[in-house]
Every structure is written in structure tokens, then in C-alpha cells.
């Protein structure tokens, strides 16, 4: 099956610094990747849709200047948390969309292992 | 975005008992997907349902998609400790959000031996 990697798996940073998280599709090309965040014992909240070669599309309430997304190639998307604060501490997960078998517009998503960010 | 409701939030069962989680949308879904997330892990795709009234089985897991394509269920027969985790349903966006997935809050399954 499709494999998505994410780096780093965990990071601790000081308040005010920036952190970059990488998401790679290893064995397929992903024109679209997604970034989610997940708080403990809660669901995945879609933050943004990352489109190769164009600007990301952010969900309502997500600050695009704080969560910078770059999708420079068909296999790599990055999320940079700028000027991180303790409330940004969370589990960030990326996913890549792979063509499914259900027909037009039906795609399953393959998730990376996640990055646990702790801001002190 | 698309709202997908899922119940129950938690389910504790003894090994061998059955388990069911339900998913409901206020709008018709083109498809619905199910994912499993083990404790400390990431979501793993289980299955997608597309057709009205569709039923699919994976060993002890049975997935159903409602006739109106607004609800879905996952039923596990004779649970095992390996079934522990959180099960999420996810529905696709529509229109300008087509291609995105919106997750239910998940059902956390605990199985004790």
C-alpha cells in the first residue's frame, strides 16, 4: 500500500520559535496532501489542503500566516508552525490522497505517522 | 465544513462481545470511509463505501452504508484485544471542499480480556 512518512516524529521547541514538519509520499505521487491536528482523545481536525504548485487552502479558523504550508513537489509538503506557543502543542498528522477504486472523486487517504509538537 | 456525527464516543466491552459504532451525516455523502487509530498511532484506512445500501465485510468487521447514504455503521463480531483503538468514520467535502475528508469524533474501543 501507499506509504507516507513524516519528519520529525516528535519535537520540543521554545515558545516563539518556528518548527518545520515534513510530509513525504514515498511510493506514489501526491498532488494533494492534507494537514490535520489532533488533541488528546479527540478527532482529527483538518487544518489545510496542500496542493502541489499552488497555494494551500486553509479551513476556517486556521491562521495561514501561522501555519505555513509549502507543497514544492509531488512527494513533499511541509508545514511550518511559526512563532509557536504552548497552545500549538499538539499531534500534527499529514495525509496524502491516493486514487481509490470507487470511481470519480473517491479517494482514500494514507496518513503519516504524525509529529508530536511540544512548545515550552 | 462537512459535519459527520459519530456515536458512541467510548465503548468498553469484554473480549468476545460485539461492538458497533454509528456515523451520521445531515447531508447525502458520495462515499464514506472508515479508519482505525491504535493508541499512540496514526489513522489507518480500513474501507470505503460508495453505493447506497452497500455492505462490506472484512473478517469480523462488517461495514454498512445506509440506503439514503447519510449514515453508516461498523460492527465487530466477537471482539478481540487486538481490536482496541479508535474507529473514525470520515465523509468527503462537497463542492469547493471536494476531495477533503471530515472526520467524526471517533469511537474509542476498549476490550478487556
Of B45, B104, B106, which has the smallest distance from its Cβ to A108's Cβ?
B45
Nearest CA to CA, how far is B42 from chain A (Å)?
A: 5
Spatial separation of the C-alpha atoms in residues B57 and A35, rounded to whole Å: 30
How much of chain A, in percent, has pLDDT values that exceed 70?
91
Determine contact: A14 vs chain B, CB below 8 A.
no
Residue of B nearest to A93 (CA): B42
Candidates B29, B50, B101, partner chain A, best to mutate (most A CBs within 10 A)? B101
Residue A16 has what pLDDT? 97
Render pLDDT for B62-94 as a digit per residue (tens, 0 to 9): 999 999 999 999 999 999 999 999 999 999 877
- Cβ of A44 within 8 Å of Cβ of B103? The answer is yes
Residue B108 has what pLDDT? 96
> Averaging pLDDT over each range in A44-58, A82-96, B81-95, which range is the top one?
A82-96
B107 within 8 A of B35, measured Cβ to Cβ:
no
User: Residues near A21 by Cβ (< 8 Å), separated by ≥ 6?
Assistant: A6, A7, A8, A11, A78, A79, A80, A81, A92, A94, A115, A117
Residue A27 has what pLDDT? 84
CA distances from B6 to A14, A111, B24, B100 (A): 36, 21, 6, 18
- Phi and psi torsions of B67, nearest 5°: -60, -35
Chain B residues with beta carbon closer than 8 angstroms to that of A41 = 108
A4 CB neighbour count, 10 Å cutoff: 25
Residue B96 has what pLDDT? 66
Indicate the average pLDDT of chain B: 92
Cα-atom radius of gyration of chain B, to the nearest Å? 14
Chain A residues with beta carbon closer than 8 angstroms to that of B31 = 102, 106
Strand segments (E) across B1-113: 4-7, 10-14, 19-25, 32-37, 43-49, 55-58, 61-65, 71-76, 85-92, 101-103, 107-112
Which has more confidence, A28 or B60?
Answer: B60
Q: pLDDT band for position A31 (50/70/90)?
A: confident
Cell readout for A94 is 499529514
Q: pLDDT band for position A51 (50/70/90)?
A: confident
Using the structure block, give the residue that is written with the C-alpha cell 467524526.
B104
Q: pLDDT band for position A101 (50/70/90)?
A: very low
Rounded to an integer, the average pLDDT of A101-119 is 78
Amino acid at each position: 500500500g501507499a506509504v507516507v512518512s513524516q519528519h520529525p516524529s516528535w519535537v520540543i521547541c521554545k515558545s516563539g520559535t518556528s518548527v518545520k514538519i515534513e510530509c513525504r509520499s514515498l511510493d506514489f505521487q501526491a498532488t494533494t496532501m492534507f494537514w490535520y491536528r489532533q488533541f488528546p482523545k479527540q478527532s482529527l481536525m483538518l487544518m489545510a489542503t496542500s496542493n502541489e504548485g499552488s497555494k494551500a487552502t486553509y479551513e476556517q479558523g486556521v491562521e495561514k500566516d501561522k501555519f505555513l504550508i509549502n507543497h514544492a513537489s509531488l512527494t513533499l509538503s511541509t508545514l511550518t508552525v511559526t512563532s509557536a506557543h504552548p497552545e500549538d502543542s499538539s499531534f500534527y498528522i499529514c495525509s496524502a490522497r491516493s486514487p481509490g477504486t470507487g470511481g470519480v472523486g473517491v479517494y482514500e487517504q494514507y496518513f503519516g505517522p504524525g509529529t508530536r509538537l511540544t512548545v515550552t | 465544513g462537512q459535519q459527520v456525527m459519530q456515536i458512541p464516543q467510548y465503548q468498553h466491552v469484554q473480549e468476545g462481545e460485539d461492538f458497533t459504532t454509528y456515523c451520521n451525516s445531515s447531508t447525502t455523502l458520495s462515499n464514506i470511509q472508515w479508519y482505525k487509530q491504535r493508541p499512540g498511532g496514526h489513522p489507518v484506512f480500513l474501507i470505503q463505501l460508495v453505493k447506497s445500501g452497500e455492505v462490506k465485510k472484512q473478517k469480523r468487521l462488517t461495514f454498512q452504508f445506509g440506503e439514503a447514504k447519510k449514515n453508516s455503521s461498523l460492527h465487530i463480531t466477537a471482539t478481540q484485544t487486538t481490536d482496541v483503538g479508535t474507529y473514525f468514520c470520515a465523509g468527503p467535502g462537497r463542492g469547493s471542499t471536494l476531495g477533503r475528508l471530515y472526520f467524526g469524533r471517533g469511537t474509542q474501543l476498549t476490550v478487556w480480556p
